Structure 1
Amino acid sequence: MTPMHQPLSEEAAARLIQAAALSKTPLAIRGGGTRSLHAAPEGVESLSSRGLSGILAYNPAEMTMTARAGTPLEAVEAALAEKRQMLAFEPNDLRGVLGTSGIPTIGGVFATNASGPRRFVAGAARDSLLGLRFVNGRGEVVKAGGRVMKNVTGLDLVKLLAGSHGSLAFLTEVTFRLLPVPETAVTIVVSGLNDAEAAAAMATAMSMSVEVSGAAHLPESVRGRFAGGALPDGAATVLRLEGLAASVTVRAEKLVAALARFGAVSRLDFETTLRLWREIRDGAPYADGTPRPLWRVSVAPTAGQQLVAALRLEAGVDAFYDWQGGLVWLRMEADPEAALLRRYVKAVGGGHATLLRARPDVLAAAQAFQPQAEAVGLLQARVKASFDPDGLFRSRMAG
């Protein structure tokens, strides 16, 4: 069993990384360990941020918060709930689909750029990140960005670290912006559409001035596994509206009228809406306790259904769509079919496919992330050399 280091301070983390650099001991960075099925390879020690916990500053008036990287996400969200504020990007919880335990951390959220249904209108996790502190591969403590939105010093560096999956640095502190919690929410459901029809309906909704904050399509194969069976019969195309109650009522009427030509239209109440979008966020239909390969594929909104249609001709797949069809949760019935999937991703205009889950032997041999284009790969290598010249940090999907 490889050692697990859990420093209790930024200074201790810096000393540990300095020692690892001197001894050429590689480190696998992790937060709460909830987002990875990849075990640390032989000879690679684990470095966790869980000992770096606590909210350092919270300014509700400016809607900003600073917290140590190992702070549990639930502690952050509990503090925000008291002031009716939230993380705009709806960080997902992958413990159900991955079968992992542990506690998600706020540092892990940003290190993996974990973003849920509101991402396509409110931005990803990295778009809410204002500043951070980290330890690089030399054991040097670095600060980038600031605590207020007006301070954009180091903004590019901040965005670079978000989504780096622990491959560039060890995060110790993050500062991020917040949004008010909407007063209410409603979901408009269009029933019985096939994938192509759903793409057209979602495009119509997004072209309107009704401020849709969630747009997903749940084919009949998964529809019954959402919202406790509360969705009407048939495939469900679901659109979320949030805000002040009076505004939501007016916008909902306008959206219902526009979508009536596509099929039967109904509405979900506030509590059912909350449950439904949590389940969409977390890929709930695939929290099935199996190792069947599970992908998250990001493509252009109009390309999602084209990708799935092409794959269905050659492989057994099950899927549903978020981000107006631009995010495909894709479960393979047998093999991951990585080469086939990435060939079709390229054919529909490009995108990014991440293998979240598979059998341990498949994961060990698979390339989990989308291969980079040659120019991007060269740039990534230069960035890696700047942050971690000795290649100390070994990336794993760990949050």
Structure 2
Amino acid sequence: MRPTSEAELSAVISDATGPLNLRGGGTRLMGPFAGNVLETSGLAGISLYEPGALTMVAYAGTPLAQIEAALKSENQRLAFEPPDLRDVLGTSGVSTIGGVAASNASGPRRISVGACRDFMLGVRFVDGAGAVVKNGGRVMKNVTGYDLVKLMSGAHGTLGVLSEVSLKVLPDVEMQLCLRIEGLDATQSVEAMSAALGSPFEVTGAARGVDGSVVLRIEGFEVSVRYRATQLQSVLARFGAIDLIDDQERCANIWRDIRDARAFASGDGDLWRISVKPSDAPHVLETIGRNKATLDWGGGLIWCEVAKGLDIRAKMRVAGHATLMRASNETFAKLGRFHPEAAPLAKISANLRARFDPRGLLNPGLMGAAI
């Protein structure tokens, strides 16, 4: 099923007699689901773009590439740099803005500017009863009633099917510089990244690659970027030699690879995405052993590839969330995609799903027990 209007989408959900497997552009692995496939790619197009107001409104099925092309023509961007995970997940299709919003897809710049949900101004969606719901608006000050905008971002379609999103966009930058430090262990890497992020020099990316090298990013106007890079080198001098990379294409490729977790594109093991306190990252890396792993968000985000069927959650022993990103259908069914919620939070989540999807139609079982 591929509705081409919000009215058609509402009718499809209203008339549904069984589970619906929601799909945007088909770029993400969501695990095995029963039910009819409902695609939102038919709801496409930019309905409003006001560069002077830094605002864009688009239908949920609009390809992300179309959004980015329109922004680039006005020297603007989606600052939260949504990742493209098709290579690492082995999927095809076209990433859509609705899929980005529904998954709260956010890249390395999240540590400095915020996540996708922080740039969402408003949403329109159809709930599990077929009702059309609107929340938010086209400016940041328009916040009244329940903040369904934040609630829908990251709900993966379990509370409603997005039909339109309103976004705040930002101007693009003049240049970027990368600083690389090699030869640090995990603890030293987190210390270096924390020192950089805690400095006043506006670091917009802090990651550690599979080779153990730490990479930092500074962006903005050239004069400011070069000054901040020089000052940051002084701050980090105690961690060893620092390589300054000012080739723009090379820097862009480095951060694209980090954003898209491309270090894991050729692997065949299970892929996990783990969110923890940065200070806990070295412990997690030690726990998972010699498995391939990277750090992003200053150590707060861990990507790791492990043997098939291995339950990383049982090994973590620290507070955090481990999301299974790539695995067999059997492993998805056994371990679940998302980290189990604590009992109080699970109760709140179940009540929300019962409120917005009383018939249990929308991706049942993806986040918590099916209704």
Q: Choose between structure 1 and 2 for higher RCO, CA contacts under 8 A separated by at least 6 residues.
A: 1
Deviation of the 1:303 alpha carbon: 1.1
Supply the distance in 2 between the matched residues of 1:364 and 1:98 (Cα, whole angstroms): 17
**Residues 316-339 of structure 1, C-alpha deviation per residue, up to 9 Å, x if partnerless?**
51101000000000110x23422x
| Aligned partner (choices 230, 238, 252) of residue 229 of structure 2 | 252
Supply the distance in 1 between the matched residues of 2:348 and 2:32 (Cα, whole angstroms): 28
Correspondence list, 1:332-351, <5 A: 332=306, 334-338=307-311, 341-345=312-316, 347-348=317-318, 350-351=319-320
Which residue number in structure 2 is paired with residue 27 of structure 1? Answer: 20
Which residue number in structure 2 is paired with residue 214 of structure 1? Answer: 205
**Residues 116-167 of structure 1, C-alpha deviation per residue, up to 9 Å, x if partnerless?**
0001111111111110100011111110100111211356211000000111
Q: Quick one: percent identity of the two aligned structures?
A: 46
Deviation of the 1:361 alpha carbon: 2.5
**Residues 170-227 of structure 1, C-alpha deviation per residue, up to 9 Å, x if partnerless?**
110000101111110000111111111111111111121000000001142xxxxxxx
3-state secondary structure, aligned to 1:365: helix
Which residue number in structure 1 is paired with residue 369 of structure 2? Answer: none
Q: Does residue 45 of the first structure (1) align with residue 39 of the second (2)?
A: no
Change (3 A) 1:76 1:155: farther
One-letter amino acid matched to 1:201: A
Q: Contact 1:36–1:396 (CA<8 Å) still a contact in 2?
A: no
3-state secondary structure, aligned to 1:92: coil
TM-score scaled by structure 1?
A: 0.89
Structure 1 residue runs without a partner (length 5+): 221-234
Q: Contact 1:296–1:355 (CA<8 Å) still a contact in 2?
A: yes
Which residue number in structure 1 is paired with residue 88 of structure 2? Answer: 97
Supply the distance in 2 between the matched residues of 1:134 and 1:375 (Cα, whole angstroms): 27
3-state secondary structure, aligned to 1:261: helix
3-state secondary structure, aligned to 1:151: coil
**Residues 67-97 of structure 1, C-alpha deviation per residue, up to 9 Å, x if partnerless?**
0000000000000001111111110011011
Supply the distance in 2 between the matched residues of 1:154 and 1:129 (Cα, whole angstroms): 16
TM-score scaled by structure 2?
A: 0.95
Supply the distance in 1 between the matched residues of 2:111 and 2:66 (Cα, whole angstroms): 26
Supply the distance in 2 between the matched residues of 1:163 and 1:145 (Cα, whole angstroms): 16
Which residue number in structure 2 is paired with residue 331 of structure 1? Answer: 305
Supply the distance in 2 between the matched residues of 1:197 and 1:247 (Cα, whole angstroms): 27
Correspondence list, 1:312-323, <5 A: 312=289, 316-323=290-297
One-letter amino acid matched to 2:143: V
Which residue number in structure 2 is paired with residue 277 of structure 1? Answer: 255
Correspondence list, 1:84-163, <5 A: 84-154=75-145, 156-163=147-154
Q: Contact 1:28–1:396 (CA<8 Å) still a contact in 2?
A: no
Supply the distance in 2 between the matched residues of 1:330 and 1:396 (Cα, whole angstroms): 25
Supply the distance in 2 between the matched residues of 1:28 and 1:360 (Cα, whole angstroms): 15
Supply the distance in 2 between the matched residues of 1:207 and 1:176 (Cα, whole angstroms): 28
3-state secondary structure, aligned to 1:131: strand
Which residue number in structure 1 is paired with residue 282 of structure 2? Answer: 305
Which residue number in structure 1 is paired with residue 354 of structure 2? Answer: 385
Q: Supply the RMSD in Å over aligned alpha carbons.
A: 1.4
Supply the distance in 2 between the matched residues of 1:296 and 1:285 (Cα, whole angstroms): 13
Structure 2 residue runs without a partner (length 5+): 367-371
3-state secondary structure, aligned to 1:214: strand
Aligned residues: 365
